Amino acid sequence: MGARYEQDLSLALELAERADRINTRFFHAGAAVTVKADRSLVTEADLTTERELAAVLAERRPGDAIAAEELHGEQIQEGRCWTIDPIDHTNNFARGLPHYGTLIALLEDARPVVGVVSAPSLKRRWWASRGGGAFADGRPARVSGVDDLAEAHLSFAQLEVWSGRRLLEPLVGLVSEARWTFGSGGFLAQMAVAEGKLDVALDPTGYVWDLAPSQIIVEEAGGRFSDVGGCADPARGTAIVTNGLLHDLVLSRLRHG
């Protein structure tokens, strides 16, 4: 099945190359920052990157829809839809921290089938296609074999959101059982799960363009991705990402304490 999406994956990697060049230029030269209504940030780099990637898709895949963070937001429809997050972790980008990246995915009937995560300032890139496996910098990526929570390395983020959803207490209980915890979220923690460097990554919020690329990469690496209810849908806004072996236990702890 991997060959089915070979051309789409090639295009997604080409888009990542374009995004890397734009974002690296702005990262070193500085980019104007605007605070949006929800207090998140957008920079000139976000807008320039999204415009260029969307223009390429409009030319090369004119029949496909686009859902992107800044200028092309729309609901995921049936059929083929590309998602773009031109700069994930814009706060890091704006503060001069290298921990940011571009996230690109192709969904078919709302299911991710191609995903690319590119972090140029870290010189890292991850990608996957449905049935074609997952890769980190060109090498096959595989989740860990840890099946005991007491030996697990676990990442979490945004305690205030967990608290607002009345899940802080079960989260703290879960974290206290793990061998080691890492206070980070987003694509970096999720890609660490795909590479077997972390066993669990917990993010209580995110849009489809944040989560779809990670879902396909983690799943093709042998892991699992879902919301707290166990639904593997990147549009549901929550990412429980594990090596698969710990997934049911993590969901049970979060739901029942």
**pLDDT of amino acid 75:** 61
**pLDDT of amino acid 102:** 97
Per-residue pLDDT at 219 exceeds 80: yes
Per-residue pLDDT at 78 exceeds 90: no
In three-state secondary structure terms, 148 is coil
**pLDDT of amino acid 29:** 67
pLDDT in tens, 185-203: 789 999 999 999 999 999 9
Burial code (b: 16+ CB inside 10 Å, e: under 16) for 186-225 equals bbbbbbbbbbbbbbbbbbbbbbbbbbbbbbbbbbbbbbbb
Separation between Cα atoms, residue 208 and residue 84, nearest integer Å: 9
- Lowest-confidence region among 64-68, 129-133, 137-141: 64-68
Rounded to two decimals, what is the model's pTM? 0.94
CA angle 257, 187, 154 (to 5 degrees): 35
Token pair in block for residue 228: 């707290």
Separation between Cα atoms, residue 62 and residue 102, nearest integer Å: 22
**pLDDT of amino acid 91:** 84
pLDDT in tens, 169-182: 999 999 999 999 98
**pLDDT of amino acid 3:** 80
